[in-house]
Amino acid sequence: MTIRVTIWNEYLHEKNNPEAIKIYPEGIHETLKKHLSSEKDFVIRTATLEQPEHGLTEEVLENTDVLIWWGHMAHGKVQDEVVQRVADRVRRGMGAILLHSSHASKLMKALTGCSGRLLWRENNEKQIMWNLKPFHPVTQGIGEYIIIDGEETYGEPFGIPNPDELLFISWFSGGNVFRSGWIKNIENGKLFYFQPGHETFPSYNNPQVIRVIKNAVRYLKPAGFTEHTKSIWLKEPVVE
C-alpha cells in the first residue's frame, strides 16, 4: 500500500541566494524528493508557493496522506484560505511535517494555537540532537544522537503547546537548547515539527536527518480520514 506524500517548499532562497543554490540547486523540495524516492511505497509530488493556490488545491490535498512543509522568508504570502484548507485536512487525518523555519508559518499557528516564537542566531554552530526515545518509530536507525557540524541556532523558550511526544532535544555550541523534534496530535491528524534545515546548510543531505523524515512519513500516515469536521446533530437519544 502506498503513502501519498506532498512536499511543499516556499522555493525562494534557492533561486536567489548563491549559498542556497549551491547546496540545493533545484530547491529543497527536489532534494527531499530525491532522497525520499528510495522508499518504493512513497508516491511523491511537490508543490511551491508560486504555483496557483500554492500547488495545494483541494484535489491535491484530498490525495495527500502526509504533507511536508518548508517555509521561511515568505510566510506572509501564503494565502489564508490555503492555510485553512491544509489545517482542515490535518484535523481530518493528514500528517504534517513542519521543517525548520516553518515554526513561524501560518500553518504552525493554525495547527497549534501558538506563535512558535524562539531565539535564533546564525553563527554556524555545532548541534548535537539527542534522541530521547530510542524505540519510537520515528527514531529507528538513529542511535543516541545526530551530530550536525554547522546549523542555524534555535533556542528555548519555544512557543509551542505541550508536545504529546517529545523525541529530540538539541545542544548548540553557543549555549542554547531546543526541542528539535516533537509530535502533537491535531484531532485526527498528527503534526511533527523537526528543526534541522536552514537553507545555507546541507542538513537535508545528512542521512540521519533524512532517515528521521522517512520514519516520520510512515508514522504520520493516517489509518483513515474523517469525512468532515463539522458537529453532528443527533435527532434521537442513544437510549430512551
Site for its own copies in 209-228 (CB under 8 A): 222-226
- Look up residue 101 and give its amino acid: S
Q: Compute how many other C-beta atoms are within 10 angstroms of the C-beta atom of residue 121.
A: 14
Of the pair 45, 126, the CB lying nearest its own copies is at 126
List the one residue from 34, 110, 150, 218 that touches its own copies (CB under 8 A): 110
List the one residue from 121, 150, 211, 218 that touches its own copies (CB under 8 A): 121
CA 103 to chain centre: 9
Return the DSSP state at 20: H
Binding mask 56-85 for its own copies (x = CB under 8 A): ------------------------x-----
Indicate whether 202 belongs to the interface with its own copies (CB under 8 A): no
Of the pair 3, 32, the CB lying nearest its own copies is at 3
Of the pair 18, 237, the CB lying nearest its own copies is at 237
Write the CB contacts of 238 (distance below 8 Å, at least 6 apart in sequence).
none
Q: Which of residues 129-148 bind its own copies (CB under 8 A)?
A: 130-137, 140, 145
List the one residue from 26, 50, 117, 207 that touches its own copies (CB under 8 A): 117
Q: Kindly report the CA angle at 102 between 98 and 108, in degrees rounded to 5?
A: 75
User: Applying CB under 8 A, which part among 10-18, 27-35, 39-47, 149-157 lies near its own copies?
Assistant: 149-157
CA 29 to chain centre: 12
List the one residue from 10, 125, 151, 199 that touches its own copies (CB under 8 A): 125
DSSP class per residue in 38-103 = TSTTEEEEEEETTSGGGG--HHHHHT-SEEEEE--TTGGGS-HHHHHHHHHHHHHT-EEEEEGGGG
Q: Which of residues 9-38 bind its own copies (CB under 8 A)?
A: none
